[in-house]
Amino acid sequence: MLSGALNVAGTLSPNVTGTYNYIGLSEGWHVWRKAGSYYCRYMGLGNSYVLSDDLSGSPPVTPYWKAVNHMTEPIDVYNPQAGATGVATVAYAT
């Protein structure tokens, strides 16, 4: 199911809620993109999935959310980082 679309929910700022479509691999990890410029992707230096406007493997410098559990799948609860607010929930889109 890793190539299916994801749904991001929550009361978040900046607003990154919505559907993220699978776009392929980056640095060997699955990546999803929301229309605009946000991604759900794996952050190698944090060993965790993140919601970010940055596609690099480094921790973003702009507001982002980091998965609570260090998992190999993106389905999780994400805590705000670097000025982001609200708790994001990521699930497979139905």
State yes or no: pLDDT of 91 exceeds 80: yes
d(CA 31, CA 56): 11
pLDDT digits (tens, 9 = 90+) for 34-78: 988 899 998 877 788 999 998 876 778 899 999 998 677 899 999
Using a cut of 0.85, tell me whether the model's pTM lies above it: yes
Question: How many domains are there within the chain?
Answer: 1
Nearest to 40 by CA among 58, 15, 22: 22
Domain with 74, as residue range(s), is 6-92
Say what the pLDDT of residue 10 is: 98
Residue 86 in domain? yes
Say what the pLDDT of residue 27 is: 82
Say what the pLDDT of residue 1 is: 57
Residue 1 in domain? no
What CA–CA distances, in Å, run from 48 to 35, 36, 39, 40, 55? Answer: 22, 22, 13, 10, 13
Neighbours of 16 (CB within 10 A): 25
Residue 66 in domain? yes
Which of the pair, 57 or 19, is modelled with greater confidence?
A: 19
Residues 20, 50: contact at Cβ < 8 Å? no
Average pLDDT, the chain: 90
Q: Are strands 88-92 and 18-26 parallel, antiparallel or unpaired?
A: unpaired
